[in-house]
Amino acid sequence: MKDKLILKALVCSAFMCSLSVGTMAAEVSTDVKAGDTEQSSWMDRTDIGMGVQGSQKDDYRDYKTAVNPRHLSTPVVFHSEHSAKQKIKAQYFIETIQPVKHYDDKSKSLLFVQGRLDGNGGDKINTRAYWYGGDGVRALEQPSYYDKGETIEHDSLGVVASVGVGYRRLSEHEHAYVGGNIFYDYAVKDKLSRVGVGMEYVSGLNTISANVYHGLSKKKTEPYPFWNGLTMIPGADLFHNTMPGDPLADAPNGMLRYRYAYEHVLDGFDIRYTRDYKNARWVSTYIDTYQWKTKSPSEHPENMFYINQHKWNSIHGVKVGAKLNVTPHLSVDLGFNKSHITSVEPYVSVMYTLGKSRYAYFGGKHSEDTITTARSKMLNKVKRSDMVVESYWEQNYREYPWDHV
C-alpha cells in the first residue's frame, strides 16, 4: 500500500514537473533533414521509472562460554557465527534533462539543467553493534565473559532530490564532445546532502565519464553512560551487579551501558565507460567502477569496546549492465553490482518516456546516418551514482562476569 502511494505521488509529480519544465525549456530543432537531435521534445527527455535491486544483510556474532560453569578455571570455548541474507529493494524515480537556451543542429555547445526525484532512493549502510561483557576478570584465572556482534544492512534514504547544471561542447567536425557538470543531492527524511562534480568525453560510439562526490552532512553522538535494570538486558543472568568500589556501585540490579552513534554522507568517485553500437543504436552497454571512503576504525572512541571488527576503510566495486530501448516509450536498464563486501546483486529498472525515443528495437530506428553519434548524445542524461550514507550505532553492556562463568 505504501509503495503504491509513493508511486502515485511520483507520477503526479512527474506530470507537474513536466508541465513546468516544458513551459520553460528552450526550443530544440526537429528538422530531420538538416540534422536531428535524438530527443527533440521536452517530453522525449523526461522519464518515469521503477526498479528493483538486490541487497545483502549480514549478521555477525562472537562469544565464549565455559565448558564447566561451576569451576573458575574451566576452559572457555570460543564461538564465531556469520550469516548473510539477500533481500529486494524497490525504487521509483522521475528524471529530466532540458536545455537552458535554444539548441539546434547548428549549435556547437549546450548548456543544460538536469533534475531527478527518487522514492526509496540512495543507499544507507546501517550497522548496529553490541558488546555484552566485562571490563576485567573476577579472578586472575577466569577469562572475561563476552558476547558481541553486529548487523550490517543496506536500506534506502527515502525521497532523494538531485539537481544539476552542465555544459557540453562539440568538436569542429562533431565526432566528439567534452562536458562538465555540477550537482546537488538532498535526502529529505534525514536532511543529508552532498555535491558532485563530473566530466564527460564522447568520441564516436564511446563515452567515458567520471564523477567525484563530497558529503556535506555529518551527525555524531559521543559515548554516554546510563544504567539499566538487569531485566531489560539480554543475557543479564550472566552478569554481576556493580562491583564494590565502582563509582556507581550498589545500584540494585543494574548494569552500566554506553551508547555511541554517527551518520555521514560518504565521499567517493565513479568512472564509467559506455559503448553504443552502430547498427543497434537501441542498445548500449556499460561498466562502472566506484569507491566510497568510510569512517576509519581508528576514529572509533576508545571507551567503546566493540571497535567494529568488520569495518572497512573503503567500499569499492563494479557495476556491469545494459540499457535497451524496447519501444519508443519503454526502455529497460539491467545488470549486476558487485562490491568487495557483498555478493553479486542484480538490478533492473523499467523507464517510461513521456515522449518518444528516436532509437528503439520495436517501432524505432536501429542505425543513424543523418547526424554524427556525438551530436545525437548531446541531450543524453548525465549518469551518476546514488548517494551513499554510513550509519553506525553501538551499545555496550559492561559488568564483571559471574563467578560461575
Domains of the chain, each with CATH number or no CATH: 2-398 (2.40.160.160)
Query: Number of C-alpha atoms within 13 angstroms, CB side, residue 204?
Result: 3
Amino acid sitting at position 4: K
* 377: its cell numbers: 548524445
Query: What percent of the chain stands above pLDDT 70?
Result: 69
8 A C-beta contact, residue 239 and residue 225:
no
Cβ count near 21 (within 10 Å): 18
pLDDT of residue 93: 95
Query: What percent of the chain stands above pLDDT 90?
Result: 45
* 294: its cell numbers: 568510510
Alpha helices in 214-275 (DSSP H): none
Bridge partners of residue 268, in order along the sequence: 213, 292
CA proximity to 306, closest of 64, 63, 129: 129
Query: How far apart, in whole angstroms, are the C-alpha atoms of residue 36 and residue 279?
Result: 18
Convert the pLDDT of each residue in 385-404 to its tens digit.
999 999 988 887 765 444 43
Convert the pLDDT of each residue in 11-33 to its tens digit.
445 444 444 544 455 555 544 34
Give the least confident one: 259-263, 300-304, 386-390: 300-304
- Residues 122-137: what's their mean pLDDT? 75
Q: What are phi and psi of 25, to 5 degrees?
A: -65, 145
Convert the pLDDT of each residue in 71-104 to its tens digit.
555 667 778 888 988 889 899 999 999 999 888 8
How would you write 294-320 as a 3-class SS string? Answer: CCCHHHCCCCCCCCCCCCCCEEEEEEE
Convert the pLDDT of each residue in 156-178 to its tens digit.
999 999 999 999 999 998 999 99
Residue 346 confidence class, pLDDT cut points 50, 70, 90: very high
H or E stretch including 396? strand 388-398
**Residues 328, 330, 336, 337: is their CA dihedral positive or negative?**
positive
H or E stretch including 346? strand 345-353
CA proximity to 230, closest of 267, 192, 256: 256
Strand ranges, E, within 100-217: 109-119, 123-133, 146-155, 160-170, 176-187, 192-203, 206-215
β-strand 345-353 against 388-398: which pairing, if any? unpaired
Query: How far apart, in whole angstroms, are the C-alpha atoms of residue 379 and residue 28?
Result: 10
